[in-house]
């Protein structure tokens, strides 16, 4: 049973599904694996390097967190998320290249 439920904003879902249409299947697979780790083990899983993202806030002023999809890669991909809507849930707000 997963530790966390994964929820999606419409923006994050569009970004994720667009990867297949853009021929970025490798990114789609990496993100899928990252989401599986996030759900099964939670954000403290070491390879995710999850940390609070200081420069933005969530839709309702929540703290935004960043987890690694890739590391030590040019334009490495990340997942940005917030806790909620319930205590055992994470809501993905954005997926993309590290700025």
Q: How far is CA 43 from CA 36, 51, 98, in A?
A: 11, 9, 18
Name 90's bridge partners.
6, 83
User: Which domains are delineated in the chain?
Assistant: 5-97 (3.30.2310.20)
**Residue-by-residue pLDDT tens, the chain, 99 positions:** 578 999 999 999 999 999 888 888 899 999 999 999 999 999 999 999 999 988 889 888 999 999 999 988 888 999 999 999 998 999 999 999 887
Across 48-65, b (16+ Cβ under 10 Å) vs e yields bebeebeeeebeeeeebb
In whole angstroms, give the CA distance from residue 92 to residue 99.
Answer: 17
pTM of the predicted protein model: 0.90
In whole angstroms, give the CA distance from residue 36 to residue 30.
Answer: 10
């Amino acid at each position: 049973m997963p530790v966390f439920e994964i929820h999606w904003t419409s923006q994050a879902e569009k970004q994720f599904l667009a990867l297949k249409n853009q021929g970025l299947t490798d990114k789609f697979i990496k993100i899928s694996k990252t989401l599986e780790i996030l759900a099964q083990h939670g954000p403290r899983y070491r390879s995710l390097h999850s940390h609070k993202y200081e420069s933005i806030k969530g839709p309702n002023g929540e703290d935004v967190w960043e987890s690694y999809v890739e590391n030590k890669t040019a334009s490495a991909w990340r997942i940005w998320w917030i806790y909620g809507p319930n205590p055992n849930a994470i809501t993905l707000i954005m997926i993309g290249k590290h700025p």
